[in-house]
Amino acid sequence: MSDVHDKDSRSFNMNRIRGVDTKPEMIVRKYLHSKGVRYVLHNRNLPGRPDLTLPKSRTLFCQWLFLAWHKRCRYFVIPKTRTEWWANIIEQTCFRDLQSVQLLKDLG
């Protein structure tokens, strides 16, 4: 199936996709707020820029299941198109996430 957008309009659309205020993140934020828990959003001073930072130095990453793949997830399937490319992207994402978590642990 061919793309319905030309290269420039596709680039424009893809450029608007952001990694903040995602649906999983908004659900977690709404739940925490309803319980009276206050938090800081997207703290740039911490490694990995966690989605939420709670009092007493707790951090939360609201990850989209697809790119935050883990080996025991029964729902994960690598797409059938561009399999090698997707495997590389997912591997890089997992590696980056592990690095961020380790840096946060090192900070205490």
> Residue 70's pLDDT band (boundaries 50, 70, 90)?
low
Between the alpha carbon of residue 14 and those of residues 9, 11, 69, 84, the distances in Å are 9, 5, 22, 21
- The pLDDT, as a whole number, for residue 6 is 87
Segments making up each domain of the chain, as ranges: 18-107
- Model pTM? 0.57
- What average pLDDT does the structure give for the chain? 80
Interatomic CA distance for residues 47 and 45, integer angstroms: 7
| Range from 26-40, 70-84, 92-106 carrying the lowest mean pLDDT | 70-84
The CATH superfamily label for domain 18-107 reads: VSR Endonuclease (3.40.960.10)
Helix (H) or strand (E) holding 97: helix 83-107
- The pLDDT, as a whole number, for residue 44 is 84
What is the residue whose two structure tokens read 């995602």? 22
Question: Over the stretch 18-54, which tens digit does the pLDDT of each residue have?
Answer: 777 888 888 888 998 999 988 888 888 888 788 888 8
Side-by-side strand order, sheet with 58-60: 40-41, 52-54, 58-60
Interatomic CA distance for residues 62 and 44, integer angstroms: 16
**Cβ–Cβ under 8 Å, residues 65 and 58:** no
**DSSP labels, 24-42:** HHHHHHHHHHHTT---EES
Residue 11 has pLDDT above 90, yes or no: no
